[in-house]
Every structure is written in C-alpha cells, then in structure tokens.
Amino acid sequence: MTGSSSYERDRTYITTRITADGRDGYPVEPGRYRLVIARACPWANRSAIVRRLMGLEDVLSMGIAGPLHDERSWSFHLDPGGRDPVLGIERLEEAFHRREPGYPSGITVPAIVDIPTGRVVTNDFERITLDLGSEWAAHQRDGAPDLYPERWRDEIDDVADKVYRDINDGVYRCGFAGSQEAYDEAYRRLWERLDWLEERLGGRRYLVGDTVTEADIRLFPTLVRFDAVYHGHFKCNRQKLTELPALWGYARDLFQTPGFGDTIDFAQIKAHYYVVHHDINPTGIIPRGPDPGGWLSPHGREQLGGRPFGDGTPPALPPASERVPPPAPDAVARRG
C-alpha cells in the first residue's frame, strides 16, 4: 500500500535472461531449465500459454506449484511427497535463496530455475514470454506462431501497457485497495478500459492485427478469472464478463484456441484466491459458481476473419502429465 492506501505491486524481479548466445551466463539448452508456474496465477498463466504455443514442452520442463501458499509463498503440495519431482524442493523459495541467500523480494511465479544448480535464473514475467517466443527459436515446433511481429510491436506494446496498468493490475488495485477513494479510482480506470476493449473488439477478432499476439496472451488470463474471482472477490462488479458481448465472445474464442483454455484449472484458481486471501475472505469458503460450461459455447467470432496462428499451426495436445480437466457444467448449481 502507499500513503493514499492504493495497492502498489512490487515489480522488483530477477532480470537475468536465458538467451541463444548466453550473454547473461545462461544459454538456451534443452533440458537444462525448469519453468515453475501455478495454475492459479495469471502472471504465470502467460508463460504456460507461450510454452504451449511454441511447442517447447520437450525442451523446457514445467513444475506446477499448488494453489495454496502461506507467508513463505508457493509450495509443491500437489506433488508426491510435497516436492517438485525434478528440483527436489518443497517450496519455490528454496530456489530463490540458492540464487541469493535471504532473497528480499517476492517469491513469485513464473520463475525459471537452472536445474543443475537449483537456482532461479529469472522471474521477470514480461521478459520470459518474449524470450520463449524469440530466444528459444531453434527449439520451437514447426508451425510455431510469431507472437510479437516486428510490424505490430509498437501497437502491441501500447495495448499491452494499457491492459497491464488498468486491467491486469487494475483488478488487484480494486481488490486490495485500502480506502474507498483508492478503490473508486481503480474501479473507474478498470471499467473505462474494459469499455474501451469492448468497443475495440466489437469489429476485430484480436487485439492487434489479425492473429494472436502477446497482447492477447496478456489480457486472456485476467478475463478467464474475471467472473470466477475478480467480479465478487475483488469487487469488480459493475458487470460480469458474460454481460459484455464482444469481450465474452473474444474470451471464449481464445479459450477454445489450443494453448489457451487447456492451461486453465478453475478449481485451482478459485482455491488460491478464496483461501489464501484471508483479509478479503476470512472464512476461506470457496464459492461453487459460476458454471464454467459456457466457456465451450459457440462464440461466432470466426466471422470477423483472422487466423489465430497466422501462417503457423495449432500446437499438439499437452503432455498427459500437464492436462487439466475441461470445464463442465456445475451439477450442484444446476440442481439449485
């Protein structure tokens, strides 16, 4: 919090990069690194999507922290014995402390860990996705899309910056506001930006150009969590996503695109927010709704044209160990 009771995210990250030429001391090498995510986390969701779209599953393994954590942050409580099977650690903080004993900043996902040393290389979530799409080019699958095309980069950066400031981080500014004034300002900015997106997406299939880009990958994780979490839990409740025709169609279009919806686990998402945020939800009760079945309903966005992967192709199915259950209608909710 700041003096005005506004929420301010700690943006201190380890900015070391894994590059093709290894200029930071960490060259791209198949099998050397492990991407650690949590299904619950929207910032980590971006990396999981890009890894899927680039087809890097065989060269960059992925560890999945569970949805629950305490003041020591993310742990591998879903893995057998409560340890990551590759890194052999119980908590992600162990990898941060091996990099810097007493690491003073947030233990965050996504993080990429150097397996031989057990040290975190980077947790710079914005740079990770850009580098997976570029520095790892020699190991990407045939047909991997270009998510950051040169001719659209200025527009992608502009849109992504607006989305980050007012929506990705904006929902947190609403949820963790320490005063009515701070909340009202965050709420205003959030809905002004969502209205802007609703208008922008009314006549175009994707945010920038006619293919999926980094801009879409940065917006989607917030939209997919909106009705399940942010609408009620973070008090972002002017409307539900399902009440915004263009954004709801756009979000379903992406969800049904290989590489997006197959990274989403609604049960883990809700477990994280409603159980971990004791100050917002002290009872720890997890709501049963909303019914996720609508994510698979027809969206009709094909009529706007565009090709999700451009000249590329869809990714293959995720490895069996990484598959998540598809959304299904909530039988309890339907029984009333």
Q: Compute the average pLDDT of residues 171-197.
A: 97
Q: Using one digit for the tens of pLDDT, what is the confidence trace for 62-105?
A: 999 999 988 888 999 999 999 999 999 999 999 999 999 999 99
Which neighbouring-strand residues pair with 36?
63, 111
Q: Compute the average pLDDT of residues 192-207.
A: 98
Catalytic entry in 26, 33, 41, 274 = 41
Upstream peptide bond of 308 is cis (omega within 30 degrees of 0): no
What domains are there in the chain, each with its CATH number?
33-139 (3.40.30.10), 150-335 (1.20.1050.10)
Residue 331 has pLDDT above 60, yes or no: no
Identify the sign of the CA torsion 74, 75, 77, 83: positive
pTM for this structure?
0.95
Give the pLDDT confidence score for residue 11 in this predicted structure: 78
Catalytic entry in 7, 26, 172, 274 = 172
Q: Compute the average pLDDT of residues 235-255.
A: 98
Q: Compute the average pLDDT of residues 293-309.
A: 97
Give the pLDDT confidence score for residue 313 in this predicted structure: 98
Give the pLDDT confidence score for residue 1 in this predicted structure: 45
Q: How far apart are CA 291 and CA 330, in angstroms?
A: 5
State whether residue 66 is helix, strand or coil: coil
CB burial of residue 169 (10 Å; 0-12, 13-18, 19+): buried
Residue 5 has pLDDT above 90, yes or no: no
| pLDDT band at residue 220 under the 50/70/90 scheme | very high
Give the pLDDT confidence score for residue 37 in this predicted structure: 98
Residue 291 has pLDDT above 50, yes or no: yes
The answer to whether residue 41 is catalytic is: yes
State whether residue 19 is helix, strand or coil: strand
Give the pLDDT confidence score for residue 330 in this predicted structure: 58
| pLDDT band at residue 334 under the 50/70/90 scheme | very low
Q: How far apart are CA 114 and CA 33, in angstroms?
A: 5
Q: Compute the average pLDDT of residues 254-273.
A: 98
The answer to whether residue 172 is catalytic is: yes
Residue 323 has pLDDT above 70, yes or no: yes
Q: Compute the average pLDDT of residues 250-279.
A: 97
Give the pLDDT confidence score for residue 329 in this predicted structure: 67
| pLDDT band at residue 127 under the 50/70/90 scheme | very high
The number of helix segments (H) and strand segments (E) in the chain equals 11, 6
Of all residues in the chain, what percent carry a pLDDT higher than 70? 96
| pLDDT averaged over every residue in the chain | 95
* Cβ atoms within 10 Å, residue 62: 21
| pLDDT band at residue 7 under the 50/70/90 scheme | confident
37 and 45 Cβ atoms separated by less than 8 Å: yes
Which is more confidently placed, 10 or 296? 296
| pLDDT band at residue 328 under the 50/70/90 scheme | confident
